[in-house]
Amino acid sequence: MDLAALKTQLKNFVQSMFEEGVLDNQFSQIQALQDSTNPNFVEEVITLFCNDAERIINEINRNLGYQNVDFSNLDSYVHQLKGSSSSIGANRLKLACANLRQASDERNKEGCLQALQLITCEYCLLRRKFQALLHLERSIVELETNQK
Amino acid sequence: METEDQTLVQDCLTENLDPAPIKDEYAPVIFSQETVSHIVSIDMMSGQQDLENILRARATGKGVLTSPFKLLKSNHLGVVLTFAVYNKDLPPDAIPEQRTEATVGYLGASYDVPSLVEKLLHQLASKQTIVVNVYDTTNASAPISMYGTDITDTGLLHVSSLDFGDPLRKHEMHCRFKQKPPLPWMAINASVGVLVITLLVGHIFHAAICRIAKVENDCREMMELKARAEAADVAKSQFLATVSHEIRTPMNGVLGMLKMLMDTDLDAIQRDYAETAHASGKDLISLINEVLDQAKIESGRLELEDVPFDLRNLLDSILSLSSDKSNDKGIESAVYVSDRVPEVVVGDPGRFRQIITNLVGNSIKFTQDKGHIFVSVHLVDEMKGTSDVGDKVLQQGLNLVQDMSSKTYNTLSGFPVVDRWRSWENFKMLNGKDAKDDPEKIRLLVTVEDTGVGIRLDAQDQIFTPFVQADSSTSRHYGGTGIGLSISKHLVELMHGEIGFASEPGVGSTFSFTGAFGKGEVSSLDSKWKQYDPVVSEFQGLGALIIDNRSIRAEVTKYHLRRLGISVDITSSLESACTYVSSIFTTSAFAHLAMILIDKDVWNQETVLQLRSLLEQHRKNCKLNVSTNLPKIFLLGTSMSPVERSKLKTSGFVDNVLMKPLRLSVLIACFQEALGRTKGKVRGKKMSTLGSLLREKRILVVDDNKVNRRVAEGALKKYGAIVTCVERGHDALNKLKPPHTFDACFMDLQMPEMDGFEATRQIRSAESEVNEKLASGEVSIEMYGNVSHWHIPILAMTADVIQATYEKCLKCGMDDYVSKPFEEEQLYLAVARFFESGL
C-alpha cells in the first residue's frame, strides 16, 4: 500500500474513533505535539497509558474482590485512571470512570462491579484500537524511512 | 377551849321568839358571825331540822347537812352544816354514846343558797343570762329545789355537784342559759369566711401551678421546634453546598464541552446551536450563583473584598458585555464618569460589577426598542447642597427640558426619562443626615437610567423583595427570578450605601445607589487593570471635534476622548461644524485637530462631503504638503449592520465607524489604525504568543500520574519551555527550595502522600522565610541568586473546576489554576499574567 493511502487510512481510522466518542479533541492535541523533536510522542504516551491503565484496573479488580471494600482507596485509583484517560483523550473510558466514581461514592459494591465491567470493556476496545493505530503508524514510518 | 359557835339563822327575829321551854338539853348560840348575829341565844335544838342535825353530828363526829329549809332572817332557802366539838380526841371507831359523852359544843354554818349562788354568779359576770337551779338530790327521784326559778328547757344544761362536806347529802347545781343560744353568727361568718379564703388561696395556688406547668410545656415545645428549625437551617445549608457542587460541576463540564465544540469545525447552523446552548448554560450558572448569593446573604456570610480597581475600565467592560443585547434591540447605551471621581478606588470590583450588571440587565430587559440606557457615576459631594453643579451631564440630568420644536428632551437619546434626583431624594447620605462623614472614604453615586416600560406604581413597594416580580406575568414575559434587585440591595448596604429608584410606567426607570470606597493609588493597581497606560500618552495633546445634536451624548463621547488625553470641542450640527472648522483654520487649534467624530443622528451625506471638501480646500489653500494629514472623520453609531458599516467605510466618506457603547480599547485600536501608528502588539495567533511567553522558561510539572506528566510535558515543550517533571509533592518541595532556577510550576492537586495544597503551603512558607531573612539583611542577596523576593508562580492543574477549589487554591498560596488537560486559551491567559509583566 502506498504512503498516501496509508496516511488516509490512519486519518479515517482516528476520525472514526472521534465519531464514536472513543477519543476526543485532547487526542488530536497530543497528535499535534508530535513533531521532529518528539517523533514518538504519541506511541510513548499510548504505551504509558496502557500500562498504567491495566495496572489500575487490576488493582481495582483486586480491591472489589475483598469482602470489605476500601472505597476511599478505590476512589483514588479511579481518580488516577480518570486523570490519565482525560490526558490522553480517551473519552468513553473517562466517562466510564465517572460511573465508577459515582458508584464508589454511594458505597454501592454492585454498582462498582458493574461500572468496572464497563471500564474493562471500554479499555479493551480502546487498547485494540490503539494497537491498530500504532500498527498503522509504524507501517507509515517504515514506508517513509524506506522511501528515504 | 373556846370555840366560836356558828349557828343557824332562824325564822324570825329574836323579839318574836318565845323563850325556850324546859328541856333536857339546850344548844344555844353563844358566838356568831356578824352576819348571823340575830341567832344569838336561840336554842338550836328548837328547830326540828336543827335538832336532827345536831344529834347526828354529835353521833357521827362528821359534818352533817340539813335538807333545805327556810333560814331565819332572810327567809332564803338554805342548808346548815353542823359539826360537833368534842373535848377529847376520840378514836375513829368510837360508839355514838361515847361521842355524845364527849360533846361540849357544836359548830354550825349556814349556807344561804340564793345569796351564795348570786354571789358566785356575780363573779361570773357573763354576757348571757344564766339560770341557775340548785337542787338537793339526796332523794334522786324527788329533788328539792333550793334555788332557782322554774325550769325552761333551753337546750344546753350543765350539771355540777356541790359538796358541802356531808356525805349523806347530795346537791346539784343546774346551769342553763335563760334564752336559747342564738345562732353563732360570728362563728359561722368567720368559718365561712375562712373557708372561702382557703378555697380562694387554694384556687390561686392551683391556677399558678397549672400556669407554670403550661408555660413549661410551651417552653419545651418551643425548644423542640427551635431545634427542628435549626436542623432545617443546617439541612438547607448542606443542601445548598451540595447543590452548588453537584450542579456546578457537571454544568462546568457542559460548558467546557461546548467551548471545545465551538473550537472545532462547525457550519453556521451548528455553531448557532452550540452558541445558544453555551449562552443558556452560562445563564444557568449565573442563576445558580445568584440563588447561592441570596442564601449566603441571608445567612450573613457574604464578605466584600478590598482591592484597588479602575472604575472606568470596569464600567466599560460591563457595558460592552451587554452591548450586544442592547444594540440588537436598537437601544443606545453609554457610560459617563465624572471628572471628580478618582482614577483608582478601593473596594470590591466583583460585587460592584454585579450590582451594575444587574441594574443594566434589568434596564435592557425592560426597555423595548427605543431610547437609551445611561450609566453615570458622580461623587456624592457633587450633589450635596451646592446650587451650581459643575458637571455638565449632571446639570442636564437634573433639569429635564423638552425641546418644543422637535418634541425631544435633553437626554441621551431624546426620549423622556424620570427625574433622576427623585431616585435619591430619600438618601440619608445626600440629605446631610449621614452623621459620620469619613473624609478618608470616597462616596460615589451611580445612576442607571433607562427609557423602558417602567414599574407599575402598586408594584414599586415590593421591588427589592426577593423572589417577587413586579407582575405575575413578568417572569413569563421578561424572564428572571426576581432575586437580582434584592441581592443588589444587600450588596449596596454592605458597601455602606443606599439604593433607590424612581419610575413611571411608560416613561422609564432610574435606579441610583451610593457606596463608600477607599482611596487608592494608581501604582497599586493589579496588572490586569493597567492595560492602557503605555498607550494612552501617544494621543496626548491631540484635538478632536464632536458633532452631535444631543449634548449629553456629546459629553459622553468627550469623556472617553479626554481619558486618552485628547482635547475636545463640541458642535451640535454639521453646518455649525463647517463654520467652526473654517473659523479655526488659521489658528493652532486646527493644526492639532486630528479627528472629527460625527454621530449618526446628524449624519448627512452631502454635508459631510461638504466638510471634506472644505478641509481639502484649506489644505490646498495653505499650500500644505499633501501628506499632511487631514483630520480623520469617524462615524459614531449604535446599531448598524456590518454591511452598512463596510459600505460606509469603502465609500470613503468616513475613515472608520465606531460602534457605541464606546470602549477605550476599541477607540485606541481605531485611532491607531487611522492615524497610522502601528505601535502595540497585535494579538494574532495565540500559539505564537504563547510560544513567545513560554520560550526558554524553566517549568516544573508535578503530577503523580505518568500519563498526565508526559502529556503536560509535551504540551509545554511545544511552546519552547524547558520542562522538568517530578512525581511527588516532596520532590517539588526540594526542587523549589530557594535558590532555584524555575520560572513557574504546574502542580497537580490530588496526589498521594502530599497533595498540591500542602506542597504549595510548604513552598510558600519556605519562600517567606527566605524573604524575611533577605529583608532583614540576615543573609546576603548573592546567596540567593540576586533575587530579593522569592515567589514562584504556582498554577494548579485540576479536572475539578469549582469555585470552592479555586478559593482553596488561592488560600494556600497558589496563583491561578488551569484545567487538566491543558486548554490553550486558558493556559495562555493564566501564564500571561506572570510572564507578561516582566517576571
B95 and B156 assigned to the same domain: yes
Q: Would the pLDDT of B636 be above 50?
A: yes
**CB-based contact A25 B708, cutoff 8 Å:** no
* Omega before B821 within 30 of 0, i.e. cis: yes
pLDDT tens, position by position, B787-808: 777 888 898 887 766 666 777 8
A37 touches chain B (CB under 8 A): yes
Domain end (from B236, B268, B302)? B302
- Is residue B272 included in any domain, yes or no? yes
- Here the CATH number for the domain that contains residue B52 is 3.30.450.350
3-state SS string over B281-338? Answer: HHHHHHHHHHHHHHHHHHCCCCCCCCEEEEHHHHHHHHHHHHHHHHHHHCCEEEEEEC
Q: Closest partner residue to A33 among B260, B714, B752, by Cβ?
A: B714
What's chain A's Rg over C-alpha atoms? 17
Q: B443 and B355: one domain?
A: yes
State how far the Cα of A54 lies from the Cα of A75, in Å rounded to an integer: 16
Chain A residues inside the 8 Å CB shell of B717:
33, 37-38
Give Cα B24 distance to the centre of its chain: 130
> How sure is the predictor about B684, in pLDDT bands with cuts at 50, 70 and 90?
very low
Q: Which of A121-130, B292-301, B526-535 has the highest mean pLDDT?
A: A121-130
What is residue B523's DSSP assignment? G
CA A86/CA A22 separation, integer angstroms? 11
Distance CA A82, CA B744 (A): 26
Sign of CA dihedral B337, B340, B345, B348: negative
Cα Rg of chain B (Å, integer): 63
- Give yes or no for a contact between B174 and B133, defined as CB atoms under 8 angstroms apart: yes
Residues B412-422: tens digit of each pLDDT? 777 888 888 88
Predicted pLDDT at B184? 83
B557 neighbors B385 (Cβ within 8 angstroms): no
A3 close contact with B: CB closer than 8 A:
no
Does B185 fall in a domain?
no
Cβ pair A130, A46 in contact under 8 A = yes
**How many CB atoms neighbour CB B285 within 10 A?**
16
B contact residues 819-838, partner A, Cβ 8 Å cutoff: 820-822
Burial of B770 from C-beta contacts in 10 A (0-12 / 13-18 / 19+): buried
Domain count, chain B: 5
> To the nearest whole number, what is the mean pLDDT of chain B?
78
CB contact under 8 A, B708 and A84: yes
Mean pLDDT value across residues B775-797: 78
Residue B297 lies in a domain: yes
**Cis amide bond preceding B661, omega within 30:** yes
**Residue by residue, what is the 3-state secondary structure of B102-144?**
HEEEEEEEEEEHHHHHHHHHHHHCCCCCEEEEEEECCCCCCCE
Average pLDDT over residues B31-48: 78
Judged by DSSP in three states, B520 sits in coil
- Does residue B218 sit within a domain? no
Give mean pLDDT, residues B39-53.
77
CA B565 – CA B552 distance, rounded (Å): 20
Interior angle at CA B212, CA B211 and CA B216, nearest 5: 115
- Contact list in A for residue B711 (CB cut-off 8 A) is 30, 33, 45, 87-88
Quote the CA–CA distance of B529 and B313 in Å, as a whole number. Answer: 7
Residue B796 burial (C-beta neighbours within 10 Å; 0-12, 13-18, 19+)? buried
* Confidence check: pLDDT of B127 > 60: no
Residues in chain B: 839
Same domain membership, residue B646 and residue B734: no
- Report which secondary-structure segment, H or E, holds A145: helix A109-147
CA trace torsion B391, B394, B395, B400 (10° rounding): 160
Higher pLDDT, B682 or B604: B604
CA dist., res. B90 & res. B397, Å (int) = 150
Instruction: Say how far apart CA B504 and CA A74 lie, in whole Å.
Output: 63
Please tell me whether residues B724 and B650 are part of one structural domain: no
* Interface residue B40 vs chain A (CB under 8 A): no
User: Range with the lowest mean pLDDT among A28-32, B357-361, B602-606?
Assistant: B602-606
Q: How far apart are CA B788 and CA B741, in angstroms?
A: 14
Three-point CA angle B711, B716, B722, nearest 5° = 120
Report residue B347: phi and psi, to 5°.
-175, -155
Task: Name the helix (H) or strand (E) containing B65.
Answer: strand B64-65
The grid coordinates of residue B814 equal 497558589
Which value does ipTM take for this structure? Answer: 0.79
C-alpha cell at B481: 427570578
Using a CB-CB cut-off of 8 Å, the residues of chain A touching B263 are 25
The residue segments making up the domain with residue B817 are 698-833
What is the model's pLDDT at position B195?
95
Are residues B290 and B438 located together in one domain of the fold? no
Please tell me the distance from the alpha carbon of residue B107 to that of residue B84, in angstroms, as a whole number.
6
- Pairing status of strand B543-547 against strand B593-599: parallel
B475 neighbors B525 (Cβ within 8 angstroms) = no
Count how many residues are written for chain A: 148
The answer to whether residue B750 neighbours chain A at the CB level (below 8 Å) is: yes
What is the grid cell recorded at B221?
Answer: 415545645
* Average pLDDT score over residue span B509-517: 90
Neighbours of B460 (CB within 10 A): 16
Residue B726 sits in the same domain as residue B785: yes
Percent of chain B with pLDDT over 90: 8
Angle, vertex CA B412, rays to CA B407 and CA B418, nearest 5: 75
CA distance A35 to B85: 170
For B94, the 3-state DSSP assignment is coil
Q: Is B755 on the interface with A (CB under 8 A)?
A: no
> At which residue does the C-alpha cell 517513509 appear?
A144
| Alpha carbon of B277: minimum distance to chain A alpha carbons (Å) | 19
Distance CA B34, CA B13 (A): 15
User: Cβ of A29 and B715 within 8 Å?
Assistant: yes
- Residues B79 and B66: beta-carbon distance below 8 Å: yes
In this structure, the answer to whether residues B522 and B543 fall within a common structural domain is: no
Same domain, B567 and B669: yes
Residue B221's pLDDT is 95
The answer to whether residue B363 is domain-embedded is yes
Asked if the structure places residue B235 within a domain, the reply is no
Quick one: B316 and B447 in the same domain? Answer: yes
β-bridge partners, B502: B510
Instruction: Check: CB of residue B532 under 8 Å from CB of residue B560.
Output: no
Q: Judge: B820–A86 Cβ closer than 8 Å, yes or no.
A: yes
Q: Does the pLDDT value for residue B346 go beyond 70?
A: yes
> In the predicted model, what is the mean pLDDT of residues B280-308?
79
Closest Cα partner for B326 from B282, B366, B355, B273? B366
Q: How far apart are CA A67 and CA B347, in angstroms?
A: 57
β-bridge mates for residue B503, sequence order:
B509
DSSP of B177-241, one letter per residue?
ESSPPPP-HHHHHHHHHHHHHHHHHHHHHHHHHHHHHHHHHHHHHHHHHHHHHHHHHHHHHHHHH
Domain boundary (B126, B158, B177) is at B177
Dist. CA B359–CA B370, nearest whole Å: 18
Query: Count of CB atoms within 10 A of residue B514's CB?
Result: 23
Tell me the per-residue pLDDT of B440-454, one tens digit each, with 9 for 90 and over: 788 889 999 999 888
Instruction: Give the number of A-B residue pairs with CB atoms closer than 8 Å.
Output: 63
Residue A31, pLDDT > 60, answer yes
Domain of B754: which CATH number? 3.40.50.2300
Same domain (yes/no): B274, B373: no
Lowest-pLDDT range, A126-130, B64-68, B303-307, B650-654?
A: B650-654
The CATH number for B494's domain is: 3.30.565.10
pTM for this one?
Answer: 0.48
* SS3 at position B434: coil
In a domain, B220, yes or no: no
B340: which 3 cell numbers?
Answer: 471628580
Q: List the single residue in B263, B707, B799 with the smallest CB-CB distance to A45.
A: B707
Better pLDDT: B374 or B123: B374
Beta-bridged to residue B745, according to DSSP, are: B700, B794
Rounded Cα distance between B469 and B486, Å, is 11
Note the pLDDT of residue B720. 81
DSSP A90: B
Q: Cis omega (within 30 of 0) on the bond before B416?
A: no
Specify if B213 maps to a domain: no
Cα–Cα distance measured from residue A133 to residue A45, given in angstroms and rounded to the nearest whole number? 13
What percent of chain B has pLDDT above 70?
Answer: 82
Chain A residues close to B260, C-beta within 8 Å: 24-25
Max intra-chain CA distance, chain B: 206
Q: How far apart are CA B829 and CA B383, in angstroms?
A: 41
B556/B639 same-domain check:
yes
Identify the pLDDT of residue B802.
Answer: 65
The position carrying cell 471621581 is B341
Q: Which three cell numbers stand for residue B434?
A: 449621614
* B483 close to B535: Cβ distance less than 8 angstroms: no
Q: Which domains does chain A have, with CATH numbers?
A: 3-12+41-146 (1.20.120.160)
Q: Does A98 touch chain B (CB under 8 A)?
A: no
Q: Let me know whether B274 and B354 are in one domain.
A: no
d(CA B246, CA B244): 6
Other beta carbons within 10 angstroms of residue B602's beta carbon come to 19
Show the cell assigned to B834.
506572570
* A44: closest chain B residue by CA: B710
Q: What is the mean pLDDT of residues B703-712?
A: 85
> Confidence class of residue B203 from pLDDT cuts 50, 70 and 90?
very high
CB spacing of B799 vs A29 below 8 angstroms:
no
3-state secondary structure of B724: strand
